[in-house]
Amino acid sequence: MPYTGSQHPPQHEELDENEWWMPPVLRVIATEGAGIREVAQAIRDHGEFLRHTGLWVQRDRERLESELQTLIRSVLMYRWRRGVSEDLYQDVLTRLVERSLSPYQAVDELVGMPVE
């Protein structure tokens, strides 16, 4: 049964494939200020649902993990590029574009480790 904010949300451990947040359909006329209170309440209800079920923490963890991985990739790429000569890089890239080298072979040549 979908949760709409009108009942107490289930705990994260109690959720099954039939339980999810069902966003309410609300009539809003922003230029007249109509329905704004209801939208704000729906946002609060959804936040309550996420916090009560543990999904808020789960989503926060996933977002932070993604951000961490992005930063690590960026730093590692920066450090790696500083250690590879531009001539070697351009040579491998040219052979890759000419299709005389596969992407896996290019990585092996540039990084010194085969891709598995």
Burial class, 3, CB count within 10 angstroms (exposed 0-12 / middle 13-18 / buried 19+): buried
Neighbour-count burial of 113, counting CB atoms closer than 10 A to its CB (0-12 exposed, 13-18 middle, 19+ buried): exposed
Residue 81: predicted pLDDT? 94
Pair 104, 47 in one domain: no
Task: Mark whether 2 and 53 lie in a shared domain.
Answer: yes
pLDDT score of 79: 95
Q: What is the mean pLDDT of the chain?
A: 87
17 and 71 share one domain: yes
For residue 38, give every residue at least 6 positions away whose Cβ sits within 8 Å of its Cβ, in sequence order, or none. Answer: 24, 26, 28
Counting residues of the chain whose pLDDT is more than 90, the rounded percentage is 72
What is the per-residue pLDDT for 20? 80
What's residue 10's pLDDT? Answer: 52
Cα angle 4, 5, 9 (rounded to 5 degrees) comes to: 100
Residues 77 and 109 in one domain: no
Q: Residue 62's pLDDT band (boundaries 50, 70, 90)?
A: very high
Query: 34 and 67: one domain?
Result: yes
Average pLDDT, integer, range 44-64: 94
Residue 92 CA to residue 16 CA, distance in Å, equals 50
- Asked if residue 22 has pLDDT above 90, the reply is no
For residue 72, what are the domain limits?
1-83
Per the structure, the count of domains in the chain is: 2
pLDDT over threshold 50, residue 1: no
Structure tokens at 70: 């992005």
